[in-house]
Structure 1
């Protein structure tokens, strides 16, 4: 069996990567809370990557925000959104137990930026896009330097304080 670690492990330093190596993980996806500078300073020999496209989770909740709007799980079909005070719509992704509140704009890191990192791979996190959007997102990402929609660089540039 080959074990891969995703961003949910919240691997943020060299000790974390050494732990992952010790426990036999083949590769890991680094926390998206790291800056590019910190990613390049990480030690260890395990293969590592970052998320370069996707609607990132902002919050995980047991109580679904859509239920407060009297939307049931049967009618929602993972298409509900939560609206903030500025009118931004945040997609809700539910698995029947927990609900992820996703960012209202996708993360997008152009190839010229992630190619300077000491990483082995990159990941596209396709969550709320439909099949056509998935194919278009992959094509846009791999062939064009810019997406047609508003996007964010996330915490890769400013970090967490």
Structure 2
């Protein structure tokens, strides 16, 4: 019954969320960020680099009704000030009229092992003054506690309906 309703109106993302919640799903192995960080190269190994991308993973699910969900997962070790400037703020561009962004994780692994979750996540509309592009939005994540040597991790899902 629920799936039939979704076939009629695939744009009802809350219904899709509910169906996903009550359905049995195949377990997917989670990436252990701490293990990746422990094996990460040092700034001395790559003196010209500003950062090392430890994980750049994309998973896409295409639903029977033609809609899709794409999950992006990134883990990046920041070597220096250039790396902090380049990766310290994450900009995710999306179409507010046909896409939804859900932030799953946004955190910084400090050098002492503590984890600081991002609390500054904002929506901006960079082309707000242009009617033709008023649907273009950006989710901006300001990563916390940035300093040379930390590792950042963020994961988000883009639902396209």
Q: Same fold (TM over 0.5)?
A: no
TM-score (norm 1): 0.24
Report the structure number with the largest CA radius of gyration.
2
- Higher strand content, 1 or 2: 2
- Higher helix content, 1 or 2: 1
